[in-house]
Amino acid sequence: MTLEVESLAEETVEDEEAAKTGEEEEKNPNLKWYVVHSFSGYENRVGKFLEVQMARKYPDRIGDILIPTEEVSSTKRGRKSTRHRKLYPGYVFVQIDLTDEIVMDVRSMSNVSGFPPMNQGYPEPLADEDVNRLRGQAEGTEKSKVVRVPFAVGQTVRVIEGPFNNFTGVVESINAERGRVRVIFTIFGRKAPIEIDFTQVRPV
């Protein structure tokens, strides 16, 4: 009995793997990546329309959709916050097995202005290297992280916490990736550069 159950389980796994392989093989080989130009702020809505309505109307002719974002950290009043910002505002990247009818339907979509770039009035697919970069950004393997600080080099800042609390100095350099700032203080008549976390200082 145990052997039969194990055998059945193995067959089920094999069937599932075969089904997955079949699905992969059935994917339209003519799908290419294109850029759809949407109105700013409507990227997600356009992407959803392509993913649902257009895919329903054109089975197997609409593939994956990418709207790459980057993580942006900022600080306000000593508090860090993080949000996701679109890397390419106004652009949606989609796999399409393109036809004249699809081109017309996409152009007629609300909140869409067309397909850039164009070659003699017809959409041009993206190059493979551009697609690989987009995939990396969307999946996080090439995801950008931007740290924003509310001051600039040369600006006067005051330390709000730590051993140099209430000291005032001038920003010499900013390391956004590490979230550190190098400040020049005047201590006992001598200039002293100190590197501290950017959340510990505030513009004067």
| 86-125 residue pLDDT tens | 878 888 999 999 999 999 999 999 999 888 767 677 888 9
The widest CA-to-CA distance across the chain, in whole angstroms, is 88
Q: Residue ranges per domain, the chain?
A: 28-147, 156-203
Q: Average pLDDT for residues 151-179, to the nearest whole number?
A: 83
Distance CA 200, CA 104 (A): 55
**What pLDDT score does 149 carry?**
66
pTM listed for this prediction:
0.56
What does CATH list as the number for 156-203? 2.30.30.30
Task: Please give the residue that has the higher pLDDT: either 202 or 118.
Answer: 202
What does CATH list as the number for 28-147? 3.30.70.940
Task: Please give the residue that has the higher pLDDT: either 23 or 170.
Answer: 170
Distance CA 195, CA 165 (A): 13
What phi and psi, each to the nearest 5 degrees, are found at residue 88?
-130, 75
**What pLDDT score does 17 carry?**
53
**What pLDDT score does 173 carry?**
87
Asked if the model's pLDDT at residue 26 lies above 80, the reply is no
Distance CA 112, CA 46 (A): 7
**What pLDDT score does 54 carry?**
95
Distance CA 62, CA 54 (A): 7
Q: Average pLDDT for residues 15-19, to the nearest whole number?
A: 50
Asked if the model's pLDDT at residue 5 lies above 50, the reply is no
Q: Average pLDDT for residues 34-47, to the nearest whole number?
A: 91
DSSP letter string over 48-97? HHIIIIIHHHSTTTEEEEE--EEEEEEEETTEEEEEEEESSTTEEEEEE-
User: Helix or strand or coil: residue 198?
Assistant: helix
Distance CA 25, CA 43 (A): 30
Q: Which residues, in sequence order, are bridge partners of residue 65?
A: 94
**What pLDDT score does 132 carry?**
82
Q: What is the DSSP letter of 37?
A: E
Distance CA 130, CA 35 (A): 11
